[in-house]
Every structure is written in structure tokens, then in C-alpha cells.
Amino acid sequence: MKLDKKSNFSEWYNTVIREAEIVDDRYNVKGFVVHRPWGMRILKTIYRIYEEALEEHGHEPVLFPTVIPEENLRREEEHVEYFKAEVFWITHGADRLLPRRLALRPTSETAFYYMYSYWIRSYRDLPFKAYQSCSVFRYETKATKPLLRGREFLWIEAHDVFSTSEDAYRQVREDMEIAREVIYGKLAIPFMFFQRPQWDKFRGAEYTFAADCLMPDGRFNQIASTHYLGQRFAKAFEIKFLDRDGAWKYPYQTCYGPGIWRILAALISIHGDDHGLILPFDVAPIQVVIVPIPSKDVSYDELIKYCKVVEDRLRSGGVRVRLDSDPDVTPGAKFYFWEFRGVPLRAEVGSMELKTRSVTLCRRDTFERVRIELELLLDAVEDLSRRIFDNLRSKAERELESRIVEALSIEEVGESISKGLIVKAPFCSVDYDGEPCGEKLKEAYSAEVRGIRIDVEEEPPDGAKCIVCGRPAKHYVYIGRSY
């Protein structure tokens, strides 16, 4: 199987997610996929890492019903107006028409906040921070793409309540830091954090901030977002608390959505190569695969006996290890199989390794091989796992930075977008008065203003003009295509 990620990313992606047994999209309902064991084990690990980070920052786990009554959705006008075209409705129970329609949750603000009006009554109840790991359902009418766009997808949503706006904004910043801890710090995925334009914010929010990574085809992939809701949902759902001064007040709220599906898509796409997946050590279902190399110099039983010694040594150190001892499959076929699935390290054991009580380790990311004494094996695996992570992250960072270009005219934007690049350009405004300029870029180049980058400080120079309308530029914005 010949793959070419650079020249045909879409074909590469579709082949890898199917052949590496991440998902199977042949389920006979459009937009719904089956998660296969290899992919599900990676997803569960990503979930675990993110959930641990959320709980370390004071969030408590909950689980809400999948269904939301129609009257809940209608509480916040802007919110329902945006989502109503994407809702799956349940209208019947058995053969009976239900007295009211129930929505399969497209997102859960209107489920959480209905209950928050019961749970939050006093300043002593605040701050209140809860999250759930779940799937959501949206009737996506565009072309679906597994893990990037579907009608049921996996994510985490956190919903937090505070007594002051200052506390709520601190939570927004904390959400960004959690994204950095997990997505960059554990998964080696670099991203940019943007304040979204007002016309592209989450409906019902006052402000939206989102983490975008860059996929190999030059498209943005939103992998997490956090939203300052202010008091809009609190007022819609009559969430009030009795403050220390004896007055009833509306609290301030935030919500946070790490896209577990899209994070996995980024992990696959950014780190993978023409040989298939490359997985960071921490998320790999199997971290080291042991492949015996038979020869005439040693009996197979003796070789396997030593391989089991190697396996026990690795397992005793907490390494997720698999001994592939099938005598009917050649070592070359085993190499290909486990390389395609992204196992970070391969331990080769042949007659020389048996004789010298050693192991030859091969890195999946570089295919570099090194022979290690058995006594030093665990230390070597730990060292190589760090090296693999650092290499994947630095390589991804270099690729991201190399794809950012500056433009001073709308024509330059179009030229760069056609090459799959990200454009940094002076822009008039990310408030609603800048929306016509954003629409012109979308109409001309199918490109979107992703917003103001907030993880770096940058301002256009004095006299800079908006690349669309020519008015004075208030910001640098980043422009590109997205999924």
C-alpha cells in the first residue's frame, strides 16, 4: 500500500483511519461511525488525560440525559436560533406521539442550566464547576468526514458558574491553560489560540476563544473552545444566588468544549507519515511491540523464552507491551503491521540479542535503531519516549510556523490561501462592523477570519489598513480555510 500524505492528504487520511482500525464508516446511517478497538483505546486515553486535568483544576464529573426538552432549547433565543437547523428530534415513544418533542443534545447548556437553577442558591455554592464526557448529535448537512465532521461526535463539555465576571474570565484563561497542558504538553500538538470574531462566536456567548491547529492540507481544525457567557443563560434559566450582602444576584458563566474527536484527528494527521500512524508514547495502546527474528542459529522456543523475559521486564516498568510471537507471520509483515498502527518502539530480538542479553530498539518516528543491554532497557525506553515526543512536537511546530505568511492586500490573501497557507493580515475589526469584510473573504476564497491571536502579543503598525476595506486596521487577524 503506497501512501502520499503530502500530495493527497484526503486519501492518506481516509486510508489510515480505516486500515489502522481507528473507525469504520460503513455503518448504514450517514454521518455515524463505529469506533474500532485500536482507535477507541487511543480515545479513552485522551479522555483520561483530559479528565484528570479538569479534575485537578476543580471540575467534578457528571452525566446528563441525552435528551433535552424542546422548551429548554428555546430559553435562550440566539442559542436556539443557531442550533435549530441541526437538531435531531425524537417525536415518538413506541407507536405513540410524544406530548412534546425531545432533542438529542446538540450541546448541553440548556440541560445543565435547567438543573443549575435548582442546585445554585447561595454564594456558598459558588464557584460551581462540572463536566461530562459524552457524544452530541448534530444534523450536519455538509459532507461528513470521520473524526472531523459527523452527525454524532465525541467531546467533553465543562459548565462553570461564578459570582463575579472576574472569576469567570479567570476560568476562560484556565481553560486555555488546560488545553495547552493536554494538547500541547501531552499530545505534542501545537496550536494557536484565537478570540473569534463576534459574528463567529458560540451562539449565546458574549465572547468565544478557540484553539486551532493546522492540518496537512492547510485547513484549520478547531480542537477546543471556551466561551464567556456572562449572565445571558443565568437570566434565561433564572439561576440566582443569595450573596453575602443578602441580595439575590445572577451569576456569571463559562463553558468549555475540548473536541476529543477532532483532537484524535489532529493527532493522526499531524504526526503520521507515509507509513501510517505515529503515536506519542503516552497515548499509544501498545508502547513497545516485541518482534522475534528467527534464524537457524537458535531454536524458536528458546528465542520466545527470552522474548518473554524482555516482555516481563518492560511490563514490570509499567510499559504497555505486546509480544507478537505468531510463527506463521514473517518479521517484515509484523514490522509493517505495527508501524502502520503507530507503535512508538519496536523491540527486535534475534540470535545476537539472545546471545548478548540485549534488545534492538527501533523508533517509529525516525526508524533509528539502537542495541540496548537488557539491564538498561527500561531506562532506554523512558529516554527514547521523551526523544520521540520532543521530535514530534518540534517537527509539528516547525511545520505550523512555516505555513504562516503575511499579506497586505486581498489579492495576496487569495494567492496564499490557494497554496494551503495561513495568512496573517491587518484587519479593520472583529466586532460586527467587520463582518462584511469577513464575508468578502469567504465569498472570494472560501476563507474565514479565525480571529485575533491571544497567545502572542502583536499589533499592526501605525497607518496599517484593513486588507479588505482599507479602513484603519485595529488588529492582526489570521485567515484560512477550515473544516
Name the pairing type of β-strands 219-230 and 252-258: antiparallel
**Contact at 8 Å (CB) between 249 and 163?**
yes
Cell of 247: 441580595
The residue extents of the domains of the chain are 9-271, 286-386, 404-482
Q: Please, which pLDDT band fits residue 146 given cuts at 50, 70 and 90?
A: very high
Q: Residue for cell digits 503530502?
A: 6
pLDDT at 244: 97
Which whole number is the average pLDDT over 421-435?
97
pLDDT tens for each residue of 448-476: 999 999 999 999 999 999 999 999 999 99
CATH of domain 9-271: 3.30.930.10
C-alpha span between 192 and 329 (Å, rounded): 44
Q: Please, which pLDDT band fits residue 437 given cuts at 50, 70 and 90?
A: very high
pLDDT at 185: 98
CATH topology (fold) of 286-386: Rossmann fold (3.40.50)
Percent of the chain surpassing pLDDT 90: 95
**pTM for this structure?**
0.96
User: 249-266: string of b/e by CB count within 10 Å (b at 16+)?
Assistant: ebbbbbbbbbbbbbbbbb
Q: Is 4 exposed, middle or buried (0-12, 13-18, 19+ CB in 10 A)?
A: exposed
pLDDT at 285: 98
- Is 22 or 143 the better-scoring residue by pLDDT? 22
Q: Please, which pLDDT band fits residue 141 given cuts at 50, 70 and 90?
A: confident
Looking at the predicted structure, is the pLDDT value of residue 262 above 90?
Answer: yes
pLDDT at 140: 83
Q: Please, which pLDDT band fits residue 217 given cuts at 50, 70 and 90?
A: very high
pLDDT at 357: 97
- Is 284 or 2 the better-scoring residue by pLDDT? 284
C-alpha span between 333 and 321 (Å, rounded): 18
| DSSP for 348-380, written as a single string | EE-HHHHHHTEEEEEETTT--EEEEEGGGHHHH
Which whole number is the average pLDDT over 74-86?
85
Considering only 48-62, 128-142, 437-451, which range has the smallest mean pLDDT?
128-142
Looking at the predicted structure, is the pLDDT value of residue 143 above 80?
Answer: no
C-alpha span between 445 and 423 (Å, rounded): 12
Which whole number is the average pLDDT over 39-68?
98
pLDDT at 423: 98
Contacts of 166 (CB under 8 A, 6+ apart): none
CATH of domain 404-482: 3.30.110.30
pLDDT tens for each residue of 182-192: 999 999 999 99
Same fold, 9-271 and 404-482: no
Looking at the predicted structure, is the pLDDT value of residue 99 above 90?
Answer: yes
Q: Please, which pLDDT band fits residue 119 given cuts at 50, 70 and 90?
A: very high
Is the peptide bond preceding residue 426 cis, with omega within 30 degrees of 0?
Answer: no
**Contact at 8 Å (CB) between 58 and 179?**
no
Q: Please, which pLDDT band fits residue 289 given cuts at 50, 70 and 90?
A: very high
pLDDT tens for each residue of 302-321: 999 999 999 999 999 999 99
| DSSP for 275-313, written as a single string | TB----GGG-SSSEEEEE--BTTB-HHHHHHHHHHHHHH
Looking at the predicted structure, is the pLDDT value of residue 1 above 80?
Answer: no
pLDDT tens for each residue of 389-416: 999 999 999 999 999 999 999 999 999 9
pLDDT at 50: 98
pLDDT at 2: 84
pLDDT at 142: 72
